[in-house]
Structure 1
Amino acid sequence: MSKPKTTPATVALDAHGADYVLVTYEYDPNAERVGLQAAEAMGVDPGIVFKTLMAKLDGAPVCAIVPSDAEVNMKKLAAALGGKGAEMMKPAEAERLTGFKVGGISPFGQKRSVPTVLEESAELYDEIYINGGQRGVQVRMTPQTVINVLKPVVADISRT
């Protein structure tokens, strides 16, 4: 599978003048946990590879960005955005909403902007990896770049 020079995610990052490095790896469609497989394929700590998850908060779409070796705590996600209850979005709905395929969902360049929460542990690292908008494509950047581009709520939303 060929990797593009651009994706909707990289187009969005470029439009913001964001500083990032595109990193490709061999995507395994049979991996149980895509983020962990990405970290292993790139030879980096899974704690710095952040996965993009789509959820519903009181019925409305939201985006959660957490380390690949953690899960989203739905109560914490709801609290971070001032809602009552959150649940994971079904994969087909996430694909329709974002314009990306599961395994390649990026928080950057989604079809529609939705409230986003970045797990606060991202700020502990000089650089993190986030999906670049296609399976097998990651973008490496500083947590501050993520914050500047997405304007997310930064909060403790994960459980390991």
Structure 2
Amino acid sequence: MHPWTEPSDRLTALGNQLIEIHLWLREELAALRAGLDSPTGARDLRAHCLTFCSALTRHHTGEDGGAFRVLAEQAPQLRPVLDELAADHEVVAAVLRRVEELAADPAGVDGVRAELDGLSALLESHFVYEEKKLVAALNAVRDGTTEELLGVPLPE
């Protein structure tokens, strides 16, 4: 490590890291959806859903308490956008609760599939909007770690 690294030890700008986390979450959701059709899909569904739901929840909770709070202070003109995104997080959380409930029932695969299809469309819209509106402002943030500000560490 070089002595000139940023205090947060972040080598990539936070907005770019947000994009990487969103790509990773998209891939995880696609794998979860694909796994529903595997021979062990129903059996593995609950574990896979819980893992994905937990990661997505940590990300959104981290944004709400981390990056969004910082951006509201540093770029107050973004507050309406941040409020919209936080409201989206509540809608996503409700969908995740339904997915977890349905995943608890081995016969709930079709219901899970329908919820995941809707979640996929919702997240795609949410991620694109968030990236469009926040990446430049996030790239200006210098303090804090990725996990503190975005809820999850940068995927490997």
Task: Identify the TM-score tier after normalising by the shorter chain.
Answer: under 0.3
**Higher helix residue share:** 2
TM-score, normalised via structure 2 length: 0.27
Please say which structure displays the higher CA radius of gyration: 2
User: Whose strand fraction is larger, Structure 1's or Structure 2's?
Assistant: 1
Query: Normalising by the residue count of structure 1, what TM-score does the alignment of the two structures yield?
Result: 0.26
